[in-house]
A and B are shown apart, each in its own frame.
Chain A
C-alpha cells in the first residue's frame, strides 16, 4: 500500500509535466489545426534557460522559471509570426513540414551551443518530506503545486478574460471568430505565446529532476501527442486528464509489471485509440 501511494504521488508529479506540455500542444492545435512538432523543442529550450540561469547567471530558482517563461513565450510567438502566419490557407502538410523545420532548427541550435551531452541541473529544493510513510522530494511537491497553479491560471484566462474567450472562439470556428471582429492573427500570436509559456513551465519544473540535452523534447512530445489524441485534439480538460492518466499508467506499469513495459504504454494506447476511436475518447461534438 505504501509502495502504491508512493508511486501514485510520483505518477501525479510526472503527470503534471505531461499535462502542461499537452496543454500547450492542444491550444495551438485548436487555433492552427496543425500538430506543432516543434512544441517539444520549446520544452527543451525552457529547461536549458533554467540550466543557464542556475549554473552561469545565478539568481533564485523562481527567477530562473520566470525568465524561462518569458523567453520561451517570446520564442513561441516568434514561431507563429515568422513561420506559421505565412502558411495560412495552405495545406496542413506544409505547416507540418515547417514545424519539423523549426524543431530541427531549435534542436540543432541547442546542439551547437551546448553540445549533445546530458547536463545535470543543480537541484534548488533537495529536501525530502515524509508523510504517511511516503517520501516526496520538495522538487516533486513544487512540480505538482506549480502545475496546478498554472492550470488554474490558464482556466481563468480562457474562461474569464476577453483574450481567452477569443482563443476558444477561434478554436471553435475561425471564420466565425473573424466575422464577430476577433483579430485572429493577434489571437494566434497570443496562443503560441501561452503555449510556449506552458512548455517553459514544464521544462523548468522537470529540469532539476532529469538531465538536460538537445533532444529531450522528442520523447515527451510523442507522449503529449498521445495524450492530446486520447483527450481529443484541441480539448483542454482532455489534455489535463490524459496527462495524469498516462503518467499514472506508466508509473504503475513500471512498478508492478516491468520498467521496459512502461515506455510502450503510450505507443500501445496510441495504436488502440487511433484504430478504434480516431477522434479521441473525450472529443466534444464539435
Chain B
C-alpha cells in the first residue's frame, strides 16, 4: 500500500519537477517555445481523449473547436480590446455552447455516422472561418493578438513566463480530466463506451452522457486554442482545419488513447520529433499515416498501453517471487 503511494508520487512528481526546471535546464528559447506549443496542443488532445477514449466516439470536428476557441480569443482581444483573462472564459463558454448545439444534432448518431457528421461539421467550420473575412481575416487569418495580460505582479510577456502559464493550464487540464474519470460521471462515460445498451439498462442516460463528454471535449479544445492564439500572436484557418484533427489523433493514438498520460506523452514526443526532423517536413503526412495504421493494428493502447503491459508484467514477476 505504502509503496503504491510512493510509486504514484514519483510518477507524478518527477515529470512535474522536470517540467518546472525545463526552461532552466535547456536554456534554449527555441526549445521552450516548442514546449509551449506542445503543452497547448496537449490540452486539446486531452479533450479529444475524453470523447474518443472515454466515451468511444471519434469526433473529426475537434480542431474546429480548437480554432473557434482561438479565433474567439483573438477577435475579442485584438479587435475589441478585451483582456485575455476575460476573453478566455468567454471563448470557453461560447465554444461549449456551440459544442452543445452541434452535439444535439450530431449525437443523434453514433460511431461511423457520428464520425462522418463531425467531419462535415469540421469542414463547415473552416468554410465559415475562411469566408467570414470581416470578422476572421479570411484565409490571411488574424495577426497582432496580444499576449495574456498581467495578473497582479505576474506578467506573461516573456517566453519563460508563458511557458509556466501553459504548464499551469496543462496541469489544471490533467487534474480536471483525472478528477472527472475518478468521479461517478467518469464511470458512466466508460459504461456508455463499453456497452450503451448495458448502460441504459442500469439507468444511465446515455444521450446526456455523450452530450456532456462532447461539451467537455469542445471546451478543452477551446482552452488549448485560446492559449495558442494568445501565445503565438496570430491564428489562421488551417489551425482549425481537419488535418489538425488528424495530427491530434496521431498524438493521442501514439501516446495512448483512454489513458491519462497518453495525450501528453504522444503530443510531446511527436511534436518534438517533428521539430527535430523539420528538414523532412514535406514527408510528415507520408510518414505519420503509416505510423497511425501500425499503432491501430498492433498497439491499439499506444505507448501508455504498452508501458502499462510492461509494468504489469514486471510487477507480476515480483509478486510471483
- Determine whether B230 belongs to the interface, using a CB cutoff of 8 Å to chain A: no
Q: How far is the CA of A263 from the CA of B52 in the complex (A)?
A: 30
- Determine whether B222 belongs to the interface, using a CB cutoff of 8 Å to chain A: no
- Determine whether B286 belongs to the interface, using a CB cutoff of 8 Å to chain A: yes
- Determine whether B316 belongs to the interface, using a CB cutoff of 8 Å to chain A: no
B289 touches A103 (CB 8 A): yes
Q: How far is the CB of A90 from chain B (nearest CB, A)?
A: 7
Q: How far is the CA of A39 from the CA of B296 in the complex (A)?
A: 19
Q: How far is the CA of A111 from the CA of B171 in the complex (A)?
A: 38
- Determine whether A96 belongs to the interface, using a CB cutoff of 8 Å to chain B: yes
Q: How far is the CB of A88 from chain B (nearest CB, A)?
A: 11
Query: Which residue of the partner chain B has the closest CB to A93?
Result: B58
- Determine whether B56 belongs to the interface, using a CB cutoff of 8 Å to chain A: yes
Q: Give the residues in chain B near A54, CB-CB below 8 Å.
A: none
For A97, A218, A233, the residue with the greatest tally of chain B CB atoms inside 10 Å of its CB is: A97
Q: Give the residues in chain A near B253, CB-CB below 8 Å.
A: 97
- Determine whether B293 belongs to the interface, using a CB cutoff of 8 Å to chain A: yes
Task: Produce 1/0 per residue, B96-121, CB < 8 A to A.
Answer: 00000000011011011101110110
Q: Give the residues in chain B near A92, CB-CB below 8 Å.
A: 111-112
Q: Give the residues in chain B near A111, CB-CB below 8 Å.
A: 282, 285-286
- Determine whether A229 belongs to the interface, using a CB cutoff of 8 Å to chain B: yes
- Residues of A99-120 contacting chain B, CB below 8 A: 100-109, 111-112
Count of chain B residues with a beta carbon within 8 Å of a chain A beta carbon: 40
Q: Give the residues in chain B near A125, CB-CB below 8 Å.
A: none
A108 touches B123 (CB 8 A): no
B246 touches A100 (CB 8 A): yes
Task: Produce 1/0 per residue, B116-139, CB < 8 A to A.
Answer: 110110011001000100000000
Q: How far is the CA of A29 from the CA of B288 in the complex (A)?
A: 25
B124 touches A267 (CB 8 A): yes
Q: How far is the CA of A278 from the CA of B114 in the complex (A)?
A: 10
Q: How far is the CB of A108 from chain B (nearest CB, A)?
A: 3
A34 touches B108 (CB 8 A): no
A97 touches B119 (CB 8 A): no
Count of chain A residues with a beta carbon within 8 Å of a chain B beta carbon: 41
A97 touches B292 (CB 8 A): yes
Interchain CB contact (< 8 A) of A104 among B57, B106, B112, B288: B288
- Determine whether B290 belongs to the interface, using a CB cutoff of 8 Å to chain A: yes
Interchain CB contact (< 8 A) of A100 among B116, B249, B297: B249
Q: How far is the CA of A91 from the CA of B57 in the complex (A)?
A: 11
- Determine whether A270 belongs to the interface, using a CB cutoff of 8 Å to chain B: yes
- Residues of B269-300 contacting chain A, CB below 8 A: 282-293, 296-297, 300
- Determine whether A57 belongs to the interface, using a CB cutoff of 8 Å to chain B: no
Q: Give the residues in chain B near A87, CB-CB below 8 Å.
A: 296-297
Q: Give the residues in chain B near A96, CB-CB below 8 Å.
A: 58, 112, 115
A108 touches B284 (CB 8 A): yes
Q: How far is the CA of A198 from the CA of B66 in the complex (A)?
A: 36
Query: Which residue of the partner chain A has the closest CB to B112?
Result: A35
- Determine whether A185 belongs to the interface, using a CB cutoff of 8 Å to chain B: no
B293 touches A102 (CB 8 A): yes
A108 touches B283 (CB 8 A): yes
Q: How far is the CB of A165 from chain B (nearest CB, A)?
A: 25
With A97-B253, A225-B120, A270-B117 as contacts: A34 and B296 at CB distance below 8 Å:
no
- Determine whether A159 belongs to the interface, using a CB cutoff of 8 Å to chain B: no
Q: Which 3 A-B pairs have the closest CB atoms?
A: A108-B285, A105-B289, A101-B292
Q: Other CB < 8 Å A-B pairs besides A103-B289, A267-B124, 9 of them?
A: A93-B52, A93-B111, A97-B296, A102-B293, A105-B286, A111-B285, A112-B286, A218-B123, A270-B116
Measured CB to CB, the residues of B under 8 A from A are 52, 56-58, 105-106, 108-109, 111-113, 115-117, 119-120, 123-124, 127, 131, 242-243, 246, 249, 253, 282-293, 296-297, 300
Identify 19 residue pairs between A and B in the complex whose beta-carbon atoms are under 8 Å apart, listed by A's number. A35-B116, A37-B119, A87-B297, A93-B111, A94-B296, A94-B300, A100-B292, A101-B289, A101-B290, A101-B292, A111-B286, A112-B282, A112-B286, A222-B123, A233-B112, A271-B120, A274-B106, A275-B105, A275-B108
